[in-house]
Structure 1
Amino acid sequence: MIDIEKVLLIAILHDEKNEERFYYSLNELKALVDTAEGEVVETIVQKRPSPHRKYYVGEGKLAEIKEIIDEKEIDVVITNEELSGGQSRNLLEQLEVHVIDRSQLILDIFASRARTKEGKLQVELAQYTYMLPRLHGQGTELSRLGGGIGTRGPGETKLETDRRHIQNRMDDIKRRLKQVVNQREQYRGNRRKNRLFQVAVVGYTNAGKSTLFNNLTKSDSLYEDKLFATLDPLSRRMKLPSNVEVLLTDTVGFIQDLPTALIAAFRSTLEEVREADLILHVIDSSAPDREEHENTVYQLLSELEADDIPIITLYNKKDLVNVEDFVPMSHPYFIISALDGADQRTVKTEVEKVMKDSWEYYAGFVPERNATKLAKLKQHTIIEKQDYSEVDHGYYVNGFVDPTHAIMKEIKEFQHDESSNHNRS
């Protein structure tokens, strides 16, 4: 059985900070601690114009924090903002317990949840990128403190070694990641060649993306009520009402104040979104800070240069809100439950509508003897109508096709054949 670590949160409410956003961010920090298997025992908020340069909190508040640590046997202190190397060392010296900040906590969660080789390498690189400028004195502190929240990933011994060793390790990780990225690009190239329509599922962490993904693809990837349940991107085929298959990709949950080092390290993973023909933006309709969630996702999509891709907005968890009074921020939108079969069908139908809007209409005649051509049309195009003619011994077909797909060559042939047949008649 894992010992649950007792956590004390400390946060500064700056003069210029929006109070509502500040307290939401604090609640989110509590959820992050829960995801990291810790227990928030106490939360200290101090109002001051800006963080104390030396200790983050004022010296009077620091004395109060020391008492709470002794009284409640706190194991870890976590700040709601990034600490400088000096602040981190000074707090550790004064408080004599493990001290980390929000960014380190997020990095730690990613380290514990990465499953693929690429994911693990990216997390390790992000942790080194974050730790390198804060390295002075960290090694001995970490070795003295042992394991627990904030110490997963590279590990204590690696952080005790000199900067040159760490820099060499970072260069090695970058080289290995480059190879993985090249392999991924090759894989993407094959996908583009086969021209499967690509749909990316994005959203704020814990919005219900993986639940929807699993139900749309009938797969059983991990989903749980914790932040960052999905870390490595996962792709599965999804069959639409017309029987055409598209590629659906689940992505890591977005979050406000994501560590810069992590955004950079995960850029290649998040680039899955840039490859998409359509984005399904899943939002927890019951979240108290729903608009902030939406804005965070839009901002990150903009940073990824993916904000010009068509988006369908899905307000999830409709059972937790009053649908009659619900006011959406984004359009077009649908209020759904990822668990509802009818809503899943609605999503698939809407994906199909977007495809028709961007694809080309075709109509033609396929002779009965050419059954393989008809099977190909069913696989790669959206067939609207298929009528068998006993007189002509074949099928009159119309529908929509991706104009860049290889099947266009065959469609042009049977469209030509049809016009030839009309001319002969």
Structure 2
Amino acid sequence: MSVTTRCAIRGTFLDISHPVTTAGELPDAVRSLEDGVLLLEGGRIVALEPWEAGQRWIDAATPLHDLRGKLIVPGFIDCHLHYPQTEMIGAFGEQLLSWLEHYTFPTERQFTCPEYAAAIATIFLDQLLQNGTTSALVFGTVHPQSVDALFSAAEARQMRLIAGKVMMDRHAPDYLLETPEESERQTRALIQRWHGRGRLNYALTPRFAPTSSPALLEKVRQLRAEFPDVWVHTHLSENPEEVAWVRELFPERQGYLDVYHHYGLTGRRSVFAHAIHLEEPEWRCLHDSDSAIAFCPTSNLFLGSGLFNLGKRWAHGVKMGVGTDVGAGTTFNMLQTLGEAYKVGQLQQYRLSACEALYHATLGAAEALDLHDRIGNFAPGKEADFVVLEPAASPLQVLRLQRCHSALDKLFVLMTVGDDRNIAQTWVNGQCAWSREQKEAAA
């Protein structure tokens, strides 16, 4: 379908209608239409209204997609994952630092080959769409060709994507190291080639403080000053051993976050993955600098890194989205990831509701990425990215749904027993970019 085509979607809709600041406000922010109609034109949302009122938008020239029985939510926004690690998902038995050494670095070595990078980029983006994810903030490898391959594939799919090449000059195998000067030169060229091109944007991507010398971090600072509208994407306080290592490497700094803050890397459009083992001054710095966090429950559990504190996130008013963090994360599916987030909360006496979870995966994530004026809900004028959920994709779900009384009830069930089978369609920029029915018919 051309993005200039006008069309209408009928079904059950659920979104977060406005930004929220505390967990208690979330129910008032939820918009639920049991029988609604969404009008699209030119890849953007024109209106979302109840069916009776919205019929006035539809004439004989407007195609109507009747999706009654389906639950339609804004496209999921993944705030942290690594596309080169797609093929090593589920690597056994390590915690963060040894996991990097034994699995991650050897896998990333293969991305010296542009053809290899292109093949993995295709698989990666297909997995995102198959799981209802329409936008993402993504790590490449140290190789510029890894970013070229990913952006080229995303551009062909009209996806909104932020990505960057890893910047890394120490404490990694020689075959992945670069000099600060090489990193700066290659990163600048990538920014000039891709940043702001269609729905693509660039993120400065120092892997994490231990693999970044002061000289490299100074280069990142200079690039951010030169290109102030790019993003910063890195890791923060994921693992206790990692935190201790940062203190050894940067004894002059007040803590892990202070390393980044010192080099001017906090602020709007700065996204720090994990942030599990933070001290109070770091929480305050994240808030005061308008930085954001990516909560990655599946990878935090898989690597035994710790439990992210959702209550402190609200208490300090820090922006936050959810990340699958593939390949330490064990699924591309945001429903399953939110189910793991619920369990992380339960272990800390925090009750993550379905409406709060939806916020963190859609509008809250868009706020964390500074894209809330473009994506995140069904507000008029926003880009038409959404996912069509099949609530009853298995006999167990059919049975369970008999006791659901609202769209939020259905969403919570999908968070706890759902998976990629529940993704019926994924729409990107006003077009159906993935359909389970079409895929099964072609198989």
- TM-score, scaled to structure 1: 0.28
Query: Which protein has greater RCO, CA pairs closer than 8 Å, 6+ apart?
Result: 2
Larger Rg: 1
- TM-score, scaled to structure 2: 0.27
